[in-house]
Structure 1
Amino acid sequence: MSVSRRLFLAALGVAGVSGGSLARAGELPQPLVLYDDELKNGFQNYSWAKTQLSMSVGNGKPIRVEGEPWSALALHHEPFSTEGYSKLTFVINGGKDGGQTLMIKAMADGKAIDADFAIQLKAKTWAVVEVPLKDINAAGKTIDTLIWQGQAAAYPGYYITRIQLE
């Protein structure tokens, strides 16, 4: 990780984290990085919102997302177990307008797992968000996608980076 990237994350209050991988049987999983300046560890962009990957913002390259009602940022991977992970963490910024309400969900077999976990973004403010996997009904399950879904209205652009399972 570059010095400028470490300084950027330090300014956001994010501790440096290694770029984990899917755990082998009998091993404790390391943080599994989905996105950090680019998609990692086999994750792919399956979004149905307008997304721009690796946008240059300050010293980082977050994803910029904006969308129509019910659109979502969706990061997909071949099915994998969340066993050993307890939370999803990410750094997010509401952009110049803020106010976006996003539902955080996991998907299995292409279908959203029912959960009611929502966050509301603040304008021009970076925030570290921790989502307990039990709160999105994804703890100890095999999943294939994580989504950040807008609600019943179109929403202005926001930025998200340093997405990982811990």
Structure 2
Amino acid sequence: MHTRRGFIASLAGLAAAWLTRPALAQTQPFVVYDDELKNGWQSWSWAKVDLAVAAGGVKPIKVQGDPWSALALHHDAFPTAGYTKLTFSINGGGQGGQMLTVKAMVDGKPVDSSFVIQPKAKTWTQVEVPLKELAIEGKTIDGIAWQGQATAYSPYYITRIQFE
């Protein structure tokens, strides 16, 4: 009888310690795209998008578009808690210099962000976007987008997209 009470008290103590401990960082990246869309991600793009284009041993997404078009990737809503950044590799294709705003989506609507990138021509660049720069740190999101600006843009390539 006494051991049963001690066991129950120990369990209660463990439960209390578990519930009050700080959140731990995610240990595994949440992969969005790596040679193909992964983990339930889908293309909801409103730009011309070709998935898995063969390019020197990798299969990036090729994107080109009209003014304000975007590569938009959708997922069932998920919390960003435990992640600190969005990372991806991007190549500006033959011309480069595309002006792209990176945005996250909450309930299908873009979160206001001024994070802009301009990929370099014929060069792969690894980009790290802090989630606080996208105003989604600790929020639940359902998508990410790379949106062109007021002019049409030449093709660019993007791959190895993930939350870390």
Please give the TM-score of this superposition, normalised by the length of structure 2.
0.84
Give the residue type in structure 2 aligned to 1:108: V
Aligned to 2:34: 36
Q: Distance in 2 between matches of 1:157 and 1:28?
A: 33
Aligned to 2:20: none
- In the alignment, is residue 69 of structure 1 matched against residue 63 of structure 2? no
Aligned length: 142
State the identity %.
63
Q: Distance in 2 between matches of 1:161 and 1:53?
A: 10
Q: Distance in 2 between matches of 1:36 and 1:28?
A: 19
Unaligned runs of 5+ in 2: 1-22
**TM-aligned CA deviation for residue 110 of structure 1:** 1.0
The structure 1 segments of at least 4 consecutive aligned residues displaced by more than 2 Å after TM superposition are 25-29
Give the residue type in structure 2 aligned to 1:107: M
Q: Distance in 1 between matches of 2:89 and 2:117?
A: 12
On the 8 A contact 1:92/1:127 being kept in 2, the answer is yes
Q: Distance in 1 between matches of 2:163 and 2:62?
A: 20
Q: Secondary structure at the match of 1:134?
A: helix
Distance 1:126 1:26, change over 3 A: closer
Q: Relative to total residues, which structure has the larger helix share, 1 or 2?
A: 2
Aligned to 2:99: 101
Deviations 1:2-46 (A, max 9, x none): xxxxxxxxxxxxxxxxxxxxxxx9783410000000000000000
On the 8 A contact 2:53/2:62 being kept in 1, the answer is yes
Q: Distance in 1 between matches of 2:149 and 2:37?
A: 25
Larger Rg: 2
Q: Distance in 2 between matches of 1:54 and 1:104?
A: 21
Aligned to 2:140: 142
Distance 1:103 1:30, change over 3 A: same
Unaligned runs of 5+ in 1: 1-24
Question: Which residue of 30, 38, 55 corresponds with 2:53?
Answer: 55
On the 8 A contact 1:72/1:147 being kept in 2, the answer is yes
Q: Distance in 1 between matches of 2:76 and 2:40?
A: 8
Please tell me the root mean square deviation across aligned C-alpha atoms, in Å. Answer: 1.3
Q: Secondary structure at the match of 1:83?
A: coil
